[in-house]
Amino acid sequence: MTDEHRTERSWPGENLGLPEHGPGSVASLGTRALAFAIDAVLAALVAGLFTAPELPKNWSLLSWFVMTAGMVAFFGFTPGMAVLGIRVARVDGASMVGVVRAVPRTVLTGLILPAVVADADGRGWHDRLFGTVVVRTRGQAAAR
């Protein structure tokens, strides 16, 4: 096979024109999962403010959905993503993800499977469907 027709990539995001390391590079699955966990705990705490002294039960799902869809639509990140230095970016370079992409993307994220089945560029099904990718906003510590 000639070099023109190779589909192998040296790093996730290379096919999208993203750098291998540092800001703008594709965030790892582990970092995205940790951001999701932070957001889930935060959503449960927020929902708990309204349901106390009872546990929030499924109200935390609504809290998570509203927080995630709204913040990704307008800011490109959730609180968990901000803490870990990652954000959702559009592959077409537009500055905002927008409600039309963020709402169904959040629904698929909540289903978990579409978010964890990633392609060679590190994008889950939900990101491929809506033209997004999760990238780092800060530098990454060098591997030793």
- Map out the domains of the chain as residue ranges: 24-136
How do 86-90 and 132-136 pair as beta strands?
antiparallel
Record the pTM. 0.87
What pLDDT sits at residue 6? 47
Dump pLDDT digits (tens) for 97-128.
999 999 999 999 999 999 989 999 999 999 99
Report d(CA 34, CA 18) in Å as an integer. 22
At 9 the pLDDT is 66
Q: What angle do CA 70, 38, 53 make, to 5 degrees?
A: 90
